[in-house]
Structure formats: C-alpha cells, structure tokens
Structure 1
C-alpha cells in the first residue's frame, strides 16, 4: 500500500497545474500532500490525496498576483495488486490575494494532467474554460513534487 501512495504522489502531482491558455498564462508550482485516505475494495483501491500547493505565474497580466496558493484533492484508482493508476481526477480551489476565486478540475493521463478552469470570479471569470497541461519536473521524497503548467488552448 505504501508503494501505491508513493507512486501516486510521484506520478500525479503535475495535475495540480493551472490552466491559462487564453493569454498564455503558464508557470510552475510545488505541491505537498497534507492528508491521504486509502479506500480498499475487492478488486481495486482508491487513493485520495489532499495537497497544499503554490503556483508561480510566468509573466502574469496587470492586476494578477505573481503567485497563488491552491488546495487540491486528487482521487486516483488502482486495480488490485497494481502500482500504476488506471484513472484519476483532481479538483483545485483558489482564493487569490485580491479575493477573486476559481475552481479547476482535471484528469490524469500518461503524459500529465489536463486541467480546466470551470468557474472563476473577478479577473478569473474571463478564464472560464481555459485549459492547462501539467507535467511533473521533479518528484520529492515523502510525496511532494515540482511541476510546470502550460496553456493547452
């Protein structure tokens, strides 16, 4: 079970990337697991990770913060006895320094995570529907990672 949790952390943290395709808004971030739940079924396992992340934006537009914090929940499924995930999803929530909010959701794939901003207020409202591709740059011992995110649309 420990191997599954470690594999999850190392493989799936890129998901936490943010989407920003409309203006080329991309960047990098780091995530740290703060809570993990393992739900064991007869034919598989579900791992739920809660992470606290910092996203640093490359060349943010006027009025945007240079960095934001995010809380993310990952849900990843594994077939019994397998360490490679068979699927997963992530939801991240942000309240930035000026009080604007957004939520993004994503799905894990073999080449990273595709995230979509599903709802935002203030300056983020115009980014609803924007997508980002997240890819892990470096996995940290103990379940953290450093990742990059680039606009996907």
Structure 2
C-alpha cells in the first residue's frame, strides 16, 4: 500500500491548490501531509489524505489577511491499477479574523486542480463560486507539496 500512496502522491500532490478571493488574488502555499487513511476493497481502495496548509496571498485586498491556514482532505479512489480513478478535494479554513471558507476541488485535464469556494462567511461571502487553479512547484512526495494558485474566474 505504501507504493500506491507514493504513486498517488506523485499524481495528486503535484496539483494541490487552494482558494481565497478572485479578481487577481493569487498566491502560494505549503501543504504538509498529517494523515493517510486507507480502506481496501476487493477491487480497489479508497484513500483519505489530510494536509495542514498555509495559504499566503499575493497583494490581498484591504481587510484581508496576508495568510490563512486550512485543513484539506483529498479523497482518492483507485481500481486495479495504482492510478486514481476518482479524486475530490475539500479544504476548510478559518482565517485570523474568524471568517470561514469551505472549498471543493476537482482535478483538471491538464493535471492541475480547480478549487471553488462553496460556502463562506464575513469578507469571504461575496466570493462564493470563485475558483482557483493550483499547480505544484515542489513535490515533497509522501510528505506534502509547495504550490501556487491563480484565479480561474
């Protein structure tokens, strides 16, 4: 199973992203893997990978934090081969001011991940529906990744 997790790290972690606000708000982040859970079936496996992330915003608008922390879960389904047959991401964040975001993410055809705010409060509420595309800059294998993200809309 460690081999499967390593292969998944190479195929999934290179595409980690996060969300925030659109309109030119981009940035970079670091995700450190804190847990891997595996549910094995007879024809495949389900993997839940948890990361603790720090999102650092480039030029945040007035009143927005320069950085936020998030907990992200990647849910990965594999069949007979170690390549993923399905992936979905969920990231949840409470910023330093106490405002929340709930984000979902899906892999894109080019290997990136598109994350979208699906629920938010406070200053983030106007950004519900905003999306970002993320790509890995440094792959740390089973330990995590360093990535950048740019607005998709």
TM-score between both structures, scaled by the size of structure 2: 0.92
Cα distance in 1 between the residues matched to 2:48 and 2:58: 30
Cα distance in 2 between the residues matched to 1:113 and 1:120: 20
Task: Please tell me whether the aligned partners of residues 54 and 68 of structure 2 are also in contact (alpha carbons under 8 angstroms).
Answer: yes
Q: Classify the secondary structure of the residue corresponding to 1:86.
A: strand
Count residues with an aligned counterpart: 151
Q: Write out the 4+ residue segments of structure 1 that deviate beyond 3 Å after TM superposition.
A: none
Identify the residue that residue 61 of structure 2 maps to in structure 1.
61
Q: For structure 1, which runs of at least 5 residues remain unmatched after alignment?
A: none
C-alpha deviation, 1:78, in angstroms: 1.0
Matches within 5 A, 1:96-135: 96-110=95-109, 111-135=111-135
> Any idea what the Cα deviations from partners look like across 1:122-146, whole Å, max 9, x if unmatched?
1100110000011111111442101
Cα distance in 2 between the residues matched to 1:122 and 1:78: 38
Identify the residue that residue 138 of structure 2 maps to in structure 1.
138
Task: Please tell me whether the aligned partners of residues 134 and 147 of structure 1 are also in contact (alpha carbons under 8 angstroms).
Answer: yes
Q: Classify the secondary structure of the residue corresponding to 1:61.
A: coil
Identify the residue that residue 83 of structure 2 maps to in structure 1.
84
